[in-house]
């Protein structure tokens, strides 16, 4: 997924049933399909192989829980493995529901969750599916009472997420033009695996998530925000290091408020934010979850350990539903670009320090990007004041606010992976699900490529100034 998600034979275009073969990359030529055969095995099958492996003892951090010393080989054990790979094109199904907006029907607020699982998937993804469907139920009751959203609400049940975010990616690529007017994408994957609320999102929506959390009651008493704040204190449990759908890395910028993480990949927001520039969030309630992607992620585990009374399911349905309702009903879109610029300044300071360690006295000049981030912060401050004044005709203001996130897209994409266009967020090439902030710059530094670092600083500065100018165009 670090290169591009979705159908590995159709990078950048929708994999629809009527797509001619000439538009596809052949499976043999696809960069995404593996060239080295791999199979997962159980520890019962791995045990005799490992036990009979010779050579030096493994590094201590490689020693597992099986009752013998691990060695690194080679031999004398030999393994003969027969793999039968079933490569075929198969039809997948996204299920889409819409509620047409009254005053801005072409502006979409999209919310989604995937429904496919590796086995039973009680937590991943069905805790999210159940909460999303309960949110839809709540929307239905509102519609019966006469309420109608200003913007069109689109609810997506995505297929084939576990095979590489295929359902959401292909739908996003197929509706790229309509999504050019989207106000937000709200994701929920693992809704509940425990009691600790967490969220990730673009900086322009981080305060929006906090405000939502203040409006939802917590099963622990008080509000979700108050519980969130308690578990975010330095003495609280540290962030999970396990890379799963519930993994939520700490945000790259420091906050005085509850921490909202940064979006990397591993779930269905990827196409919306990092390919199309739609402001996105992801929310979940997490805990000890030792059954990830296994046969034990079932209803029995969920009822005994995850959420026995389904109180956190209710909490997440309320959080998710309120995100959709408030965004679809807002007179003025609740983005905060002042905070966006401020966070990017923190990212740049960290990258500048890292580049000094990497390049020594040849450290590249960051002044253009720093100036661009300050420009964005200042433009964000000014437009935030206009947002708070609630203009009588907000359509033009909302159009500029939506356009600003798209302006952060780099037209040619990131080096060696042009599908990813966002200048600020991408999954790292070597970090799994975790985000790399200002990825073009940071990954060039990591490679020790001074020329590319300078090029990516220039591309970032251009994106930041482009975004600030979009905001400044509103008078």
Per-residue pLDDT at 87: 80
pLDDT above 60 (res 281): yes
**What's the whole-number mean pLDDT along residues 318-345?**
98
In this structure, the number of other CB atoms found within 10 A of the CB of residue 4 comes to 24
Instruction: Convert 251-272 to b/e letters by CB count within 10 Å (16 or more is b).
Output: bbbeeeebbbbbbbbbbbbbbb
Domain annotation covers residue 79? no
Per-residue pLDDT at 253: 63
Same domain, residue pair 341 and 324: no
Question: Which of 77, 21, 69 minimizes the C-alpha distance to 53?
Answer: 77
- In tens, the pLDDT along 101-123 reads 999 999 999 999 999 999 999 99
Same domain, residue pair 362 and 220: no
| Residue ending a domain, choose from 329, 353, 386 | 329
Per-residue pLDDT at 441: 97
Domain annotation covers residue 168? yes
**What's the whole-number mean pLDDT along residues 332-345?**
97
Mean pLDDT of the chain: 93
Same domain, residue pair 149 and 279: yes
Domain annotation covers residue 374? yes
pLDDT above 70 (res 403): yes
Same domain, residue pair 324 and 375: no
Burial class (CB in 10 A: 0-12, 13-18, 19+), 456: buried
Same domain, residue pair 383 and 411: yes
Is residue 161 among the annotated active site residues?
yes
* 320 vs 237 pLDDT, higher one: 320
* CA-CA-CA-CA torsion sign (249, 253, 254, 256): negative
Question: Which of 302, 195, 283 minimizes the C-alpha distance to 245?
Answer: 283
Domain annotation covers residue 4? no
Same domain, residue pair 295 and 371: no
How far lies 346's CA from each of 35, 257, 462, in Å?
40, 16, 18
> What's the domain count of the chain?
2
Per-residue pLDDT at 241: 38
Domain annotation covers residue 63? no
Same domain, residue pair 365 and 254: no
Per-residue pLDDT at 243: 40
Domain that holds residue 243: 95-329
Active-site choice (107, 161, 170, 443): 161
Domain annotation covers residue 89? no
Percent of the chain with pLDDT over 70: 95
Domain annotation covers residue 138? yes
| Residue ending a domain, choose from 329, 355, 373 | 329
Question: Which of 128, 95, 112, 165 minimizes the C-alpha distance to 420?
Answer: 165
**What's the whole-number mean pLDDT along residues 396-413?**
97
The first and second tokens of residue 341, run together, are 């610029």
**What's the whole-number mean pLDDT along residues 305-322?**
98
Per-residue pLDDT at 244: 46
Domain annotation covers residue 262? yes
Percent of the chain with pLDDT over 90: 84
pTM passes above 0.75 = yes
Pairing label, strands 196-201, 280-286? antiparallel
Q: Which helix (H) or strand (E) holds 177?
A: helix 176-179
- φ, ψ for residue 114 (rounded to 5)? -90, 150
Same domain, residue pair 392 and 296: no
Kindly indicate the confidence band of residue 232, based on its pLDDT and cuts at 50, 70 and 90.
confident
Residue 449's CATH number: 1.20.930.40
Same domain, residue pair 348 and 215: no
**What's the whole-number mean pLDDT along residues 398-420?**
96
Same domain, residue pair 418 and 467: yes
Residue 208's CATH number: 3.40.630.10
Kindly indicate the confidence band of residue 227, based on its pLDDT and cuts at 50, 70 and 90.
very high
Per-residue pLDDT at 391: 86
**What's the whole-number mean pLDDT along residues 73-96?**
90
| Residue ending a domain, choose from 296, 329, 362 | 329
CA 167 and chain centroid, separation: 15
- In tens, the pLDDT along 125-184 reads 999 999 999 999 999 999 999 999 999 999 999 999 999 999 999 999 999 999 999 999
Same domain, residue pair 305 and 359: no
Report the C-alpha gap between 266 and 441 in whole angstroms: 22
Per-residue pLDDT at 238: 42
Per-residue pLDDT at 105: 97
Same domain, residue pair 180 and 283: yes
Kindly indicate the confidence band of residue 251, based on its pLDDT and cuts at 50, 70 and 90.
low
- In tens, the pLDDT along 180-205 reads 999 999 999 999 999 999 999 999 99
């Amino acid at each position: 997924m670090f290169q591009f998600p979705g159908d590995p034979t159709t990078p950048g275009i929708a994999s629809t049933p009527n797509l001619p073969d000439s538009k596809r990359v052949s499976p043999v030529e696809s960069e995404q399909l593996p060239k080295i055969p791999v199979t997962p095995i159980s520890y019962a099958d791995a045990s005799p192989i490992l036990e009979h492996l010779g050579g030096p003892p493994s590094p201590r951090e490689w020693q597992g829980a099986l009752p013998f010393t691990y060695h690194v080989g080679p031999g004398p054990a030999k393994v003969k493995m027969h793999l039968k790979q079933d490569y075929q094109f198969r039809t997948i199904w996204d299920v889409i529901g819409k509620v047409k907006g009254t005053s801005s029907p072409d502006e979409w607020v999209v919310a989604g969750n995937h429904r496919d699982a590796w086995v039973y998937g009680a937590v991943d993804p069905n805790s999210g599916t159940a909460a999303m469907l309960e949110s839809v139920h709540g929307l239905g009751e509102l519609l019966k009472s006469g309420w109608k959203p200003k913007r069109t609400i689109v609810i997506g049940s995505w297929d084939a997420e576990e095979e590489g975010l295929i359902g959401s990616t292909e739908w996003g690529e197929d509706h790229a033009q309509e999504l050019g007017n989207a106000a937000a994408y709200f994701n929920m994957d693992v809704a509940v695996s425990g009691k600790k609320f967490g969220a990730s999102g673009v900086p322009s929506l981080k305060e929006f998530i906090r405000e939502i959390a203040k409006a939802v009651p917590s099963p622990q008493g008080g509000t979700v925000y108050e519980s969130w704040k308690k578990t975010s204190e330095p003495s609280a449990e540290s962030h999970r290091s396990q890379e799963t759908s519930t993994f939520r890395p700490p945000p790259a910028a420091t906050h005085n408020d509850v921490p909202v993480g940064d979006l990397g990949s591993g779930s269905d927001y990827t196409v919306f934010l990092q390919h199309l520039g739609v402001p996105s969030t992801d929310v979940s309630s997490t805990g000890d979850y030792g059954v990830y992607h296994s046969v034990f992620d079932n209803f029995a585990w969920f009822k005994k350990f995850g959420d026995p009374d389904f109180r956190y399911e209710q909490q997440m349905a309320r959080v998710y539903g309120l995100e959709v309702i408030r965004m679809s009903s807002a007179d003025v879109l609740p983005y905060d670009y002042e905070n966006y610029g401020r966070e990017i300044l923190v990212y740049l300071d960290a990258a500048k320090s890292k580049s000094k360690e990497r390049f020594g006295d040849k450290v590249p000049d960051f002044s253009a990007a720093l100036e661009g981030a300050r420009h964005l912060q200042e433009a964000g401050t000014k437009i935030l004041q206009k947002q708070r004044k609630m203009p009588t005709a907000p359509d033009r203001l909302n159009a500029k606010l939506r356009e600003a996130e798209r302006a952060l897209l780099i037209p040619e994409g990131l080096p060696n992976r042009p599908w990813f266009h966002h200048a600020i967020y991408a999954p790292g090439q070597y970090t799994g699900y975790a985000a790399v902030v200002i990825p073009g710059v940071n990954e060039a530094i990591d490679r020790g490529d001074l020329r590319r670092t300078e090029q990516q600083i220039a591309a970032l500065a251009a994106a930041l100034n482009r975004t600030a100018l979009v905001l400044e165009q509103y008078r």
